[in-house]
Amino acid sequence: MSGRHLFFFNRALIVKAIEELQFEELLQLQKIDEKMWKLEAGNNIEYRFKGKIGAWNNIQVQVDSLQKFQDGLEQAVYTAGRFFYEVQEVCGIDDATLGQFLEEMHQTLYCDDLRFNRLKAYTASELSKLSFHEIDQLLPGHPKLLLNKGRLGWGVGELCAYTPESGQSFQLIWIAIKKEKLSAGIDPNISYEHLLLSSLNKRQIESTRVSLEEHGLNPDLYYVIPVHPWQWDRYIRIQYQDYIFKKDMVYIGVLGDFYTPQASIRTLTNINNPMAFDIKVSTSILNTSCIRGLPEKYVGVGYEISKFVDETLSKDEFFKERNTRTLKETAAISAVLESHQNVEGCSYRYKELLGCVWRESVASVLRGGERAVPTGALIMNHNGEHLIKFYVLDSGLSPKEWLKHYIDKVVLPLYHLQVKHGIGLVAHGQNTILILEDSRPSGLIIKDFHGDLRVSDSIAVEGEFTTFLERLPKHYLIHDLYTGHFVTVLRYLSRVMEESLSLPEKEFYAVLGEVIDSYLRITEVKIDSSVDLRKSEFEKVLVNKVRFVSGYSETSQRLRPILGNNIKNPIARNMEESKL
C-alpha cells in the first residue's frame, strides 16, 4: 500500500465516520457558511469540510474538501485512528473497546487496499457490465457500518486467500460425520448425491465411501460435508478432536470444484460451474456485527422456509407480474460441539462452528437476456463515477423512469410480502438482488432465509417450521424494509442519483411516495398507520453506537440495535411540502 493510497483510505473513512456518526446523533456539527461545516474534536482540533444536509437530515460531505486544523494551523497529515481517538469521549467509547475498534479499523483499511488493487483494472462503465458474482466481490461493504471489512481472526495470508476482495478461489475440505451427531434438513425432492455432485464428481464421491470403509466404517451412517479450509485448521480439528478420536468424524481430504467467496465471506460460488449450488459454510471470524458461524436453529427447517416463501411468490399474481424470485435453500447440515451444547451463557461462536447450507446460485435462476446485480452495487463509486449512472444511461430511460421501475420491481414486492403475507426479510443491499434486462429493472431475487427472515404476529402463517421463526409485531417487522432498505440502500441511492444523474433527492422521494400511493390505492390490502411507509416518522436504528456501547465481549446472543431519535420520513416531508 502506498502512502498516497493509505491517506485516501483514511480520509474516506473519516468522512464516512462524520456522516454516519452525525446521523446516529453522536457528533454535533457546526455550520460555518452556506457550504462549509466543521466538527470540533476538542483540544483545539477542528475538521472542516464542504457539505450539505440531505433528505434524511444527514450531512453529505464532499470527500476531497476535508481539512484538519490544530491551533488554527492546517495539518498536512491525518489518520482515521487519530480521529477516532479524538472523538472517543463524545462517542462514549471506553479504552478497551477503542483498542479493539482500532484493530478492526486497520484490518478494514488493509482490505480496502486489496479491493482497490482489483478495481484498478476497470473503469466504472466496465464494472457496470460485470456478472453478479464479479461485482458482488467488489462491493464497498456495508454502507452504514464504519468498519465493514474487519475479518477479525484472519491475518494477511487469510485476507489474501479467502476474502471477496482478494478474488481468489480455493477447494473445500470434505469430512464425514456420523448422522447421529448432527442435525440435517434436506429437501426430499433433492437427493443427497445430487448435492454432492454439485461439487464433486462420481469418482470423488466413490472415493469418500472407500475412505470410510478403509477405516472399518459403514458409509451409510455418515454424511459427507464441506468445511472451509481455515475453519478446519483453526477450530474443527482441535475442538472436535473427541469426534475424530471416536471416528464420529473422519477427514476425507481437499476435493472437488474451486469456490470463490461472495461479499458475505462464508457463502461461496462454484467457479467451475456457476449454475451449481452456492455453499454457505461456518467461518468463525468477526465481520461487521457478528461471528460468521451458522446457527443450528434453522438447519432442520431451512428448506421448508424456502419452499414456503417460493410458494407464496408463485401463488400471488402481484409477485408474478413483477418477476419476484427466491434463491431456495435446498439443504443444511450442522453439528453442534457437544462440550458446549449445554453451556447456555457461553458465546454463540461455540455453537455455530460446524455447518453448511446448499442454496441455489444467482446464475441458475436467471433467464435469457437477464443479468443480476446486488442492490448495494447501485451506490458504488469508482474514480468519481457511480455505477447507477451507467445502468440508467444504458437503459434508455430517464432517471425518474428508471427509478419508477426500480420501486415497482424491488420496493413494492418487499412491501407486499409484509403487509399481505406477513413475511419480513432484512432487505439490505446483499439480500436484495436486482434483475436487469437491457439495464432496466425487471425483477427481484431475495435470499438468505437462515435468520434474516421473520414473520408478523398479526398474520396467520401456517406450518410447523414457523415455530422456528422469530415473530414480531408488524410495526417492528416493517423495519426489515424501512431500516433494511430505505435507510440502508435508498438513503444512499437518492444521493448518488442526484450527484451523478441530476435527479434531486426531493424528486426521488416524491416518486417513491407516488408509487407507494398508487400501490395502496389498487391493492386490496388494508394497512394501519404503524406500517404506512408514508407516515411522518420512523424509529431510527443505530448500528455503530451498538459496538461503542457493547464493546467486543462475546455473549450468548448477537448484538441488538439501539434506537435513537425518530427519523423524519423524507416521503412524508415531501407530501407535506407539496400541500403548502
Residue 159 counted as domain residue:
no
| Amino acid making up residue 47 | Y
319 and 216 in one domain? Answer: yes
CB 281 within 8 A of CB 191: no
H or E segment and range at residue 462: none
Q: Domain boundary residue among 362, 396, 419?
A: 362
Residue 113 counted as domain residue:
yes
Q: Domain boundary residue among 362, 385, 405?
A: 362
390 and 251 in one domain? Answer: no
* pLDDT of amino acid 435: 98
Instruction: Read off the pLDDT of residues 535-547 as tens digits, 9 standing for 90 and up.
Output: 999 999 999 999 9
Share of the chain above pLDDT 70, in %: 98
459 and 434 in one domain? Answer: yes
CATH number for position 43: 3.30.310.280
464 and 338 in one domain? Answer: no
Question: Residue 74, Cβ neighbours under 10 Å: how many?
Answer: 11
Q: Is 247 exposed, middle or buried (0-12, 13-18, 19+ CB in 10 A)?
A: middle
Instruction: Read off the pLDDT of residues 76-123 as tens digits, 9 standing for 90 and up.
Output: 989 999 999 999 999 999 999 999 999 999 999 999 999 999 999 999
* pLDDT of amino acid 65: 97
CATH number for position 465: 1.10.510.40
Q: Is 551 left (phi over 0), alpha (psi -120 to 50) or beta?
A: left
* Mean pLDDT for the chain overall: 94
Q: Is 316 left (phi over 0), alpha (psi -120 to 50) or beta?
A: beta
Residue 385 counted as domain residue:
yes
Residue 309 counted as domain residue:
yes
183 and 322 in one domain? Answer: yes
**Domain containing 243: what range?**
169-362
* 576 band by pLDDT with thresholds 50, 70 and 90: low
260 and 398 in one domain? Answer: no
d(CA 242, CA 244): 5
376 and 350 in one domain? Answer: no
178 and 132 in one domain? Answer: no
426 and 342 in one domain? Answer: no
Residue 228 counted as domain residue:
yes
Q: Nearest 5°: phi and psi at 508?
A: -55, -50
Residue 152 counted as domain residue:
no
Instruction: Give yes or no for residue 461 having a pLDDT over 90.
Output: no
349 and 376 in one domain? Answer: no
- The three-state secondary structure class of 55 is coil
Q: Tell me which of 109 and 342 has the higher pLDDT.
A: 109
478 and 414 in one domain? Answer: yes
d(CA 453, CA 313): 15
Q: Nearest 5°: phi and psi at 370?
A: -100, 150
Share of the chain above pLDDT 90, in %: 87
- The three-state secondary structure class of 287 is strand
Residue 505 counted as domain residue:
yes
* 46 band by pLDDT with thresholds 50, 70 and 90: very high
d(CA 360, CA 525): 31
Instruction: Read off the pLDDT of residues 503-551 as tens digits, 9 standing for 90 and up.
Output: 999 999 999 999 999 999 988 888 989 999 999 999 999 999 999 999 9
Q: What is the pTM of this model?
A: 0.96
Count the domains in the chain: 3
Residue whose grid cell is 417450521: 465
Q: Domain boundary residue among 329, 362, 395?
A: 362
CA neighbor of 338 nearest in space, from 244, 250, 252: 244
* pLDDT of amino acid 580: 46
Q: Which whole number is the average pLDDT over 49-66? A: 97
Instruction: Give yes or no for residue 578 having a pLDDT over 80.
Output: no
* pLDDT of amino acid 35: 94
Instruction: Give yes or no for residue 18 having a pLDDT over 90.
Output: yes
Which DSSP state fits 520?
H
99 and 33 in one domain? Answer: yes
Residue 419 counted as domain residue:
yes
Instruction: Read off the pLDDT of residues 380-429 as tens digits, 9 standing for 90 and up.
Output: 999 999 999 999 999 999 999 999 999 999 999 999 999 999 999 999 99
* pLDDT of amino acid 468: 82
